[in-house]
Structure 1
Amino acid sequence: MSTLSPANRRRFLTLLGLSAVTVGCGTAVGGGSSGGNGTRTLRYQGWAGQVTPAELAQDLGYLEDVRLEWVGNTISGPQDIQSAATGQTDFGGAFNGAVVKLAASGAPIKAVISYYGSDEDAFNGFYVRADSPIRSARDLIGKKVGMNTLGAHSEAMLDIYLQRDEVSRAQQEEREGVAV
């Protein structure tokens, strides 16, 4: 059995469509390096089983003389941008809410591009069975809501949905979020 190099593995996974693509959203003041030939090296964290847009861009030749240096895998978007803010990496990515919270706390980051969320082209929805008694935000009071373990964006969207339908903070706290 032959072993694929990391670059060929990324290409293979990308071609199969098995990996989700993300884009870094922030940059730290930190540690990219420049050599005498103008080549820059950017340190970053990856995601297990995923090809990042930076890796894809490098493999497709879009980064020209910029070299990526993988320093390990991240466990979450907030952790990824915290690593950038503390200079352990040169860029990172997280959902917009995490970026806003970190920036609001005074972290030395700058948002460059939004890489996921909801807008006119991308939709996140909440679904129930056709025979479910849940029909509105108020029907969620006291109910459990299941989300995947990377559900911070979905949880933020749920909070906005509840606020827009004037479910009070006290009523929202009656709802239990459950990671599934």
Structure 2
Amino acid sequence: MTQIQLDSELIEQVIAQDRKAQFQLFELTKRMIYSLAYRMLNDEDLAHDVLQETYVEVFQKIRSLKHPEALPSWMKTIAARKAIKVAKNQFEFEKIDQHPDPLENQFDSWFDGELLDQAIRELPPGARAVFMLVTVEGYPHSEAANLLGISESTSKSQLHYAKRLLKTRIQNLLRV
């Protein structure tokens, strides 16, 4: 999970509704927020909408933030919730077959970030959402499950399913 450190003075200025400070915060954090939204939604336009809505809410509610040092995490939580709300009807959680994966221990190939990004975007929406929240953003299964409105065991099984699909898809991409 990428952690952005923000100057406490900047945070105080943002809380005081200073427009220049708000713009600076936006510039420092926009990639982090957009990346989270895009990876969850797999749609540039929707990700831009979530980005905009996230900053609107951040600037409206920042005075209620009890721990200013947690601002980046708070912003990511807002973005994740907005992305989930936008894509709620996309998130289908497939029944997972309990058979062992024959490729389980055969994944030793090299790949780059672009191949991984492509493989993540091809995951089913529900598995992709769980993968992004738990593996990429570092949310515990209990919190990811709560955000997605599923059980913790469904979150765990969807993560296992996503990882299994990623292994297979990356292997297939490397063979092309």
Compute the TM-score of the two structures, normalised by the length of structure 2. Answer: 0.26
Task: Give the structure with higher Rg (CA).
Answer: 1
Richer in helix (by share): 2
Compute the TM-score of the two structures, normalised by the length of structure 1. Answer: 0.26
Richer in strand (by share): 1
